[in-house]
Amino acid sequence: MSTYANKKGFGATIWDYLTTVDHKKIAILYLISGGLFFVIGGLEAMFIRIQLAIPNNDFVSAGFYNEILTMHGTTMIFLAAMPLVFAVMNAVVPLQIGARDVAFPFLNSLGFWLFFFGGVFLNLSWFLGGAPDAGWTSYASLSLHSAGHGVDFYVLGLQISGFGTLMAGINFLVTIINMRAPGMTYMRMPLFTWSTFVVSALILFAFPPLTVGLVLMMFDRMFGANFFDVAAGGNTIIWEHLFWIFGHPEVYILILPAFGIFSEIFATFSRKRLFGYSSMVFATVLIGFLGFMVWAHHMFTTGLGPIANAIFAVATMAIAVPTGIKIFNWIFTMWGGSVKFTVPMLYAVAFIPTFTMGGVTGIMLASAPADYQYHDSYFVVAHFHYVIVGGVVLGLLAGINFYWPKMFGTILNEKLGQITFWTFLIGFHLTFFIQHFLGLMGMPRRVFTFMDNQGLNTGNMISTVGAFLMAFGVLVMVINIIITSVKNEKVGNDPWGDGRTLEWAIPSPPPFYNFKQLPLVRGLDAYWVEKMEGKKEMTPAEPLGDIHMPNSSFLPVTIAFGLFVAAFGALYHMDDKSWTLPIIILGLLITFGSMLIRSIKDDHGYHIHKEDLMDDTDKGGKA
């Protein structure tokens, strides 16, 4: 214990983070790398908007525009939104269910490093002959004919980071099923934990189709197979189905955690129990379930036939029902509550109309006949940015503001937070609202330029101005984070003053073992229940005892790094270079060697002894 109190040097801190298996530190790793990729994806978005600011612009070339556009989508979905979601999940879920860590701490670390090396691999394509340029959906008919190695970077990079995501999903499933504190029944779980649970199930079922699709694409591109090549008897539509069987659940994988974060925020700052808790749980599960039945609405114009289109259109519209349940429950949570407009609450309140607008255009797009008009126009771009930025990104910004004290022990500045909020929100609506009309006026998606005198000039200029406002908001947020970290003013257990769930009952940031004694959960919003009975802390469910902790390990980094090395060999293998095979073998040796070490080396972890856990406050003889 005493070793942990020592001040550590910079190198030791780096080593600590490289080897950590602690969910709280992995959350910070996800936050930093997700934030970094978010900035990269944001820069790509700025380039897109600068290019489209005026007609016939030549800021970037057509080919380079395709690369920027592809990498913007791919980076934002896979390398920014996903890890930021995982950052919040890792930081919060074990605390919310009263657990000391996730079920498989080693696997948690491995999941992060696989994601990280996959993401780095994908982004290295910029420096190694060009990024992927077939769109984030990478439709086979296009990507098979993409010259250079861009699409190969896409395939291998996503494959590696996909392994990591799948592991993280399974880890959270096992954690939530097995490691809830005494008294924490399923129907007492906070809604963020519920959404994590449903999302993990979606990951479990949605990522294998992506893996299959990527493997087929890899064989087609690198080893001369013909799964998608129509000329050789393949079927290009198979990729589209596999991609969207994954891709549609994927967007729910992103939005459901945001719903969970907002549910926590609404209840906390309305200082009221979440309205209709059980219907919220039901709606979350139903959205997850329906999420697997609607993928073909992305493919209405591929010629599935009227019957298939009708079935998928109706199934898609059905999703409006559980989502509507949620929207009304959030409104009713605020109704009659004593609402406090903190920064997270501002995001939450702004989210409702913004997301509803995205939902309404979703219903418009779900009508298959009308979709023939909207398809591949800026209307679609406006729609998915309204749900993804207006839902997921607002949710993540709210969650980062809300949980920042729990993760770092400091609280972000409210004034700067409000500036970020207003500039980001106004910038967002400026950027994307007008794009609905650009789309309806006939501006197609994924074009690198448009002509003058088509009535598109003003709209595109407004859109670009909005994008700069959003960038300004993010910049203020970064400044806010730096100022807060430098000041380093520590806050107490419950800095918002109205914490309802278990994470607010322990110090910020929590000690590395989270709970000295596992808490006894006596109802929904466990900490609130205790507060209402005049108590200051949770009732322990067990006597103070030794705590079993996992050892840190460097192996997750080497396992992931081995795959990263092997991916380079696989990528250049088709160029008939002699060094590729040794590189593949070397990389796989690193990976499997590390796995072998992990398997044969006994690592039972260590115990924190009871005596080390007792401090002055415990000596009075509490439980």
| Span 16-45, contacts to another protein by CB under 8 A | none
Angle at 256 between CA 30 and CA 214, to 5 degrees: 65
Nearer to another protein, 147 or 177 (CB): 177
Determine if 304 is a binding residue for another protein (CB under 8 A). Answer: yes
Instruction: Give CA–CA dist 611/486, Å, rounded.
Output: 35
Q: Smallest distance from the beta carbon of 536 to another protein, in angstroms?
A: 25
Q: In a 3-state reduction of DSSP, which class is residue 79? A: helix
How far, in Å, CA of 543 to CA of 517, rounded?
A: 7
Q: What is the nearest approach in angstroms of another protein to the Cβ of residue 268?
A: 26
- Provide the minimum distance between the beta carbon of 530 and another protein in the complex, in angstroms, as a whole number: 19
In the shown chain, the binding pattern of residues 138 to 177 toward another protein, with x for contact by CB under 8 A and - for none, equals -----------------------------------x---x
| Phi (first) and psi of residue 225, to 5 degrees | -80, 170
Q: What x-and-dash track marks residues 171-190 binding another protein by CB under 8 A?
A: --x---xxxx-xxx------
Q: Give the shortest CB-562-to-another protein separation in angstroms.
A: 29
Annotate 119-178 with DSSP letters as a single string: HHHHHHTTTTT----STTTT-HHHHTT--SSHHHHHHHHHHHHHHHHHHHHHHHHHHHHH
Closest CA to 159 of 188, 119, 203: 119
The secondary element (H helix, E strand) that includes residue 548 is: strand 547-549
- Examine residue 485 and tell whether it contacts another protein (CB under 8 A): no
Residue 212 or residue 364: which is nearer to another protein going by CB?
212
- Say which DSSP state 304 is in: -
Least distance CB 242 / another protein (angstroms): 8
The site for another protein, by CB under 8 A, has a size of: 24
Residue 607 to residues 1, 150, 547, 598, 604, Cα–Cα distance (Å): 10, 48, 5, 20, 10
Per CB under 8 A, 102 contacts another protein: no
Q: How far is CA 21 from the centre of its chain?
A: 20
Q: Residue type at 243?
A: F
Q: From the CB of 68, what's the least distance to another protein, in Å?
A: 32
Residue of the chain from 141, 211, 235, 279 that contacts another protein (CB under 8 A):
235
Cβ of residue 546: shortest distance to another protein, in angstroms?
18
Could you give the maximum distance between any two Cα atoms of the chain, in Å? 81
Verify binding: residue 15, another protein, rule CB under 8 A.
no
Residue from 32, 54, 293, 588 that binds another protein (CB under 8 A)?
293
Tell me the C-alpha distance between 68 and 73, whole Å: 9
Does residue 238 touch another protein according to CB under 8 A?
yes
Instruction: Map residues 188-227 to x or -, x wherever contact with another protein holds by CB under 8 A.
Output: -------------x--xx---x------------------
- Name residue, tokens 């259109």: 313
Q: Which of the ranges 290-298, 316-324, 409-417, 428-436 carries the binding residues for another protein, by CB under 8 A?
A: 290-298
- Could you give the CA distance from residue 234 to residue 460 in angstroms, rounded to a whole number? 40
How far, in Å, CA of 484 to CA of 412, rounded? 6
Q: Applying CB under 8 A, does 230 fall inside the site for another protein?
A: no
CB 545 to another protein: min, Å: 16
Residue number with CB closer to another protein (288 or 466):
288
Give the one residue of 15, 17, 64, 292 binding another protein; rule: CB under 8 A: 292
The residues near 596 (Cβ < 8 Å, ≥ 6 apart) are none
Q: Mark the segment that binds another protein (CB under 8 A) among 300-308, 452-460, 589-597, 604-612.
A: 300-308
Residues that bind another protein (CB under 8 A): 173, 177-180, 182-184, 201, 204-205, 209, 235, 237-238, 241, 245, 289, 292-293, 296, 304-305, 308
